[in-house]
Each structure stands twice: as structure tokens, then as C-alpha cells.
């Protein structure tokens, strides 16, 4: 079951970039993200109500959902979408892949969980591999003030993503399922984005084209309802640090799709990077050997 959820998350989030590109033509970024999560929340609430699986939340649960909505379904998306205007997508992918390391560190600080050496080593190896995969894109980009702003936004978005992971883990430890907490979190995220649009004067435009509506449906249903539910379920089952290795793998899926539809050419450094990413995946999920018991002397 864990393997199926893991592969599902990687495959879905590895293909959402195609839909996101179609969202950036006419409609303002915050409005597009608000539409996405409002639709996803509506679908989740409908499914939960019909199936009678909507769990009741107390004030604490609602406040954590509010924080989760702010971190996972609002601020981090605004940061990444805005950063993509100033820095290459490859650099964003590299920064985002540090979520594995941030999750391990935050779990240690806030939950007192031991940091597994293989998780840190695997995360570092995956980060190095992504750097090689995107090296031509990174090497061809000249540093500037906008680059620094983009990097800062990408890093802050990653930290928000990591915080959202820990909040979901906290909710699951309290017996709340990701379907319920995601429904509320996405609703809160959509409302906060809508409020931002109203305050900032961002127009609520909508593009009734096949490309925009189709991409919105893909991002809302597979990308949000299924993707986030599968991923956050993994956070509860595997721990935040192991689940976050998805952030290293889905750029690899995106590059393979790009090779098929956009003519991306694999190079020797990129292939080496792919090998390192796969080795990092093996390290992250390797079970530590049980300690051999020392025989007692008679």
C-alpha cells in the first residue's frame, strides 16, 4: 500500500507542471490557485459527506487546519509560482528537494525524533543528483538581485511545505484522517487567497478555454485531491522525512515527460544525476540493520 501511494504521488506531481504552465497565461496566479483549492475542497467535502466519513474537528483541530491551509495550500504555492518568474524551474526543483532534509530536522526539533543517518545521506545524494540533472539550466543562469529574491521565495515556500507536513503528522497522531484535514485546509487556503485578491485588487478573471479549464480540473482532482491525500497519508505512515523524498523524484518524472513531448536531450551528467537520485531513494528507504545481541557471560 505504501509503495502504491508513493508511486501515485510521484507520478501525479511529476505531471502537474504541464497543467501549471497552462494556468499562467491570462488568470492571475493567486486567483488560479484559489480556484484550484476551492474546487478541490468542494469535491472533498462532497465525497466525505456522501460517504459519511467527514470527521468532527474541535477548536484545536480547526486551528491546525487553518495553519495547514496557510502553509500547504496558500503561501508555499504563491512563493513557488512567483519564484518561477525570476529563477529557472530546475533551480526551484533543487531548492524544493531539500524538503527531505528540512522535514528530518524539523521532526527532530519539534517531535524529538531521531534523525536517521541513511535519510540524511539519501536526501543529500538526491539533492546532488538533481543538481546534475539541471546543471545546464543552472549554469546558464546569471545571478542577479531577482535571482536572490527567487531563491529566498523558493526556500521560504519549501519551509512552509515542511511545516505543513509536520502539521498533518500532528493531526494524524490525533486520529484525524488526511481527507478531512485536507478538505478544511484547502478551504481555508482558498479563502485566504481570495481575501488576498480582494485586498490587493487582483481581478477574479477566468479563462473559459479548453486548456485552462482542463488544466484546472487536473490540478484540482489528481493534483490536489488525490496527490495531497496520498502524500500526506505517507507522511503519517512513513514519517515526514521519508515521504518528502517524493520532492526529489517528481522532477525526474517531469524530465522524462519533457523528453517525450518537448525534445529534452539526456546528457552524461544528467544520467549520472538520475543514478544518484535513484541511489538516494534506496538509501532513504533502507531499513537499518537490527543490532546483534551481545551474549551474556555466565
pLDDT reported for residue 291: 44
pLDDT reported for residue 191: 98
Kindly give, in sequence order, each residue whose CB lies less than 8 Å from that of residue 190, ignoring residues fewer than 6 positions away: 34, 35, 36, 37, 38, 41, 73
Rounded Cα distance between 49 and 71, Å, is 25
pLDDT reported for residue 138: 72
Closest CA to 239 of 169, 134, 191: 169
User: CA 205, 210, 213, 216: dihedral to nearest 10 degrees?
Assistant: -120
Q: What is the pLDDT of residues 172-193, one digit of tens each?
A: 999 999 999 999 999 999 999 9
Q: What is the pLDDT of residues 107-161, one digit of tens each?
A: 888 888 887 888 888 888 888 988 888 887 777 666 678 888 888 999 999 999 9
pLDDT reported for residue 185: 98
pLDDT reported for residue 136: 76
What would the DSSP string read from start to end of the chain? Answer: -HHHHHHHHHHHHTTHHHHHHHTSSSS-HHHHHHHHHHHHHHHHHHHHHHTT-PPP--HHHHHHHHHHHHIIIIIHHHHHHHHTTTS-HHHHHHHHTTHHHHHHHHHHHHH-PPPPHHHHHHHHHHHHHHHHHTHHHHHTPPP-HHHHHHHHHHHHHHHHHHHHHHHHHHHHHTT--HHHHHHHHHHHHHHHHHHHHHHHT-------SHHHHHHHHHHHIIIIIIHHHHHHHHHHHH-HHHHTTHHHHHHHHHHHHHHHHT-PPP-HHHHHHHHHHHHHHHHHTPPPPPPPPPPPP-
pLDDT reported for residue 294: 44
- Give the start-to-end residue ranges of the domains of the chain: 2-282
pLDDT reported for residue 91: 76
Which residues of the chain, if any, have pLDDT below 50? Answer: 290-292, 294-298
Amino acid at each position: 500500500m505504501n509503495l502504491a501511494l508513493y508511486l501515485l504521488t510521484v507520478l501525479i506531481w511529476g505531471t502537474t507542471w504541464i497543467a501549471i504552465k497552462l494556468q499562467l497565461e491570462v488568470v492571475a496566479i493567486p486567483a488560479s490557485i484559489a480556484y484550484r483549492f476551492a474546487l478541490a475542497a468542494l469535491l472533498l467535502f462532497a465525497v466525505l459527506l456522501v460517504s459519511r466519513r467527514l470527521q468532527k474537528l474541535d477548536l484545536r483541530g480547526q486551528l491546525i487546519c487553518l495553519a495547514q491551509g496557510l502553509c500547504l495550500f496558500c503561501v508555499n504555492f504563491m512563493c513557488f509560482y512567483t519564484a518561477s518568474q525570476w529563477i529557472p524551474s530546475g533551480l526551484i526543483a533543487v531548492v524544493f528537494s531539500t524538503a527531505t532534509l528540512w522535514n528530518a530536522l524539523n521532526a527532530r526539533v519539534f517531535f524529538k525524533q531521531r534523525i536517521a543517518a541513511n535519510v540524511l545521506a539519501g536526501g543529500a545524494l538526491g539533492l546532488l543528483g538533481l543538481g546534475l540533472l539541471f546543471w545546464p539550466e543552472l549554469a546558464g543562469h546569471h545571478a542577479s538581485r531577482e535571482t536572490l529574491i527567487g531563491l529566498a521565495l523558493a526556500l521560504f515556500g519549501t519551509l512552509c511545505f515542511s511545516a505543513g507536513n509536520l502539521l498533518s503528522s500532528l493531526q494524524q497522531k490525533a486520529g484525524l484522517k488526511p481527507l478531512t484535514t485536507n478538505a478544511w485546509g484547502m478551504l481555508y487556503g482558498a479563502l485566504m487567497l481570495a481575501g488576498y485578491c480582494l485586498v490587493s485588487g487582483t481581478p477574479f478573471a477566468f479563462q473559459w478555454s479548453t486548456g485552462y479549464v482542463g488544466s484546472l480540473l487536473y490540478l484540482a482532482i489528481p493534483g490536489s485531491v488525490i496527490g495531497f491525500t496520498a502524500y500526506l497519508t505517507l507522511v503519517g505512515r512513513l514519517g515526514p522525512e521519508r515521504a518528502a523524498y517524493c520532492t526529489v523524484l517528481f522532477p525526474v518524472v517531469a524530465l522524462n515527460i519533457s523528453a517525450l513531448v518537448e525534445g529534452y536531450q539526456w546528457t552524461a551528467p544528467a544520467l549520472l544525476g538520475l543514478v544518484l537520485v535513484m541511489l538516494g531513494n534506496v538509501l532513504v528507504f533502507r531499513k537499518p540493520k537490527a543490532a546483534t545481541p551481545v551474549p551474556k557471560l555466565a
